[in-house]
Chains A and B, each alone.
Chain A
Amino acid sequence: MAVDKLVDSSQLDTDLTSVANAIRTKGGTSAQLAFPSGFVSAVEAIPTGGGATLKQELLGYTPTGDVYYVPDADIPRYGIMWKKGMTSLTLDFANGYSFAQSNSNGENICNCSIPKITIIGNNSGSVVLWGYCITACSSPFVVVCKGKLYKYSQSVFRANTGLTTLDYTYTSGNGITKYDFYGDSSFGTLIIRGSTMMPLADTSAFSNATKFRSGGAGGTLYVPQSLIASYEAATNWSTILGYTNNQILPIEGSIYETQYADGTPIA
């Protein structure tokens, strides 16, 4: 042990106590903290990626500008509501939380005016996109879903008259399902990434007002070039792509080859 400095032990106690008090306040505890192990454990227990302060900002009032948020709890029903002024919202579920379910319907993001919403799953696929997960958003916006997600079986993006574009990276599980875009009158661009064809469980996914519907203005489906023939022959996709004005195009050669629909570059 090196003894090369004189230390004011009283001052040192005061300084350490002030650090411990700050940790206790943030952690909501009055427990004694042993030095250094207790300090280290307490600091390690503080959530990463913004934590409580950003959560309070996001859920409590309307922040402005770009918001990158790593949830430190499940996003509750109506958790993100009436948000205006944000230019983008990225929800990175790296901490393992999810959208909370409410009677099969999420209604987690409602009545917002956010031009770009990006949802990033995690390796376990435990993030669930419930029915009406994003709903009642009427200003133009795009949604990007990437990483591993679990998609509920119906109405996931339903009732958003402002939804123009969905950019979805498909890995496995439920594909596009019943009423997913029901009533989304601006919806006309769907990008599906991934090496496996995403099933379409019901043509009603595009019914009631979308540009893809029978008699609609026409929508564009972007998929990898290698899967175009599979989509054209697939159950339900063959019907949707048979409607006048709809088209299927390769991602390769389009703007979506190098960037997601929210404008972020593809690594």
Chain B
Amino acid sequence: MIITENFKVGERDFIRTTSDAGRYVVRDGVEYSEACDPAEFGRTYIEGELMPVDEAGAAEILDILLGGEDA
């Protein structure tokens, strides 16, 4: 499912679009793992392919959880 979140950069409003299923979000054939746009652009996305697992990143997270490395 597509989820959106509002945030600001300076005084400007932005919208972050992601997938809660670990999929890319896609617009005009371009895949994004997250898509941040100025709110006034009104851009919309659909879900795409599953994103690859970041195995090295997962290993780092596991290491942090086990106390082996500072976050």
Taking beta carbons and an 8 Å cutoff, which residues of A are in contact with B?
A: 103-105, 131-132, 153-155, 158, 177-179, 199, 201-204, 214, 233, 235-236, 238-239, 242-244
Q: With A177-B33, A202-B33, A242-B12 known to touch, is A153 a contact of B55 (CB < 8 Å)?
A: no
Q: What would be 19 A-B contacts, judged by CB atoms less than 8 Å apart? A: A104-B52, A104-B55, A131-B54, A154-B52, A155-B57, A178-B54, A201-B31, A201-B33, A202-B32, A214-B9, A235-B30, A235-B36, A235-B43, A236-B32, A236-B34, A236-B35, A239-B14, A239-B36, A242-B12
Q: With A179-B57, A239-B9, A242-B10 known to touch, is A153 a contact of B52 (CB < 8 Å)?
A: yes
Nearest 9 A-B pairs (CB), nearest first? A242-B9, A239-B36, A202-B33, A178-B33, A201-B32, A235-B35, A105-B56, A202-B34, A199-B30
B54 & A154 in contact (Cβ 8 Å cutoff): yes
A238 & B37 in contact (Cβ 8 Å cutoff): yes
Q: Is B2 an interface residue (CB 8 A)?
A: no
Considering only residues 29-53 of chain B, those with a C-beta below 8 Å from chain A are 30-38, 41, 43, 51-53
Taking beta carbons and an 8 Å cutoff, which residues of B are in contact with A?
A: 9-10, 12, 14, 24, 27, 30-38, 41, 43, 51-57
B56 & A235 in contact (Cβ 8 Å cutoff): no
**Chain A interface, DSSP helix/strand/loop, else mixed:** loop
A235 & B27 in contact (Cβ 8 Å cutoff): yes
Contacting residues, chain A, for B41 (C-beta < 8 A): 233
Instruction: Please measure, in the bound complex, the distance between the C-alpha atom of A239 and the C-alpha atom of B35, giving whole angstroms.
Output: 10
Q: With A201-B31, A242-B10, A243-B9 known to touch, is A155 a contact of B36 (CB < 8 Å)?
A: no
The residue of chain A having its C-beta at the shortest distance from the C-beta of B37 within the complex is A235
Contacting residues, chain A, for B54 (C-beta < 8 A): 104, 131, 154-155, 178-179
Contacting residues, chain A, for B43 (C-beta < 8 A): 235
B56 & A131 in contact (Cβ 8 Å cutoff): yes
Contact partner, A235, options B9, B32, B53, Cβ 8 Å: B32
Instruction: Please measure, in the bound complex, the distance between the C-alpha atom of A202 and the C-alpha atom of B54, giving whole angstroms.
Output: 14
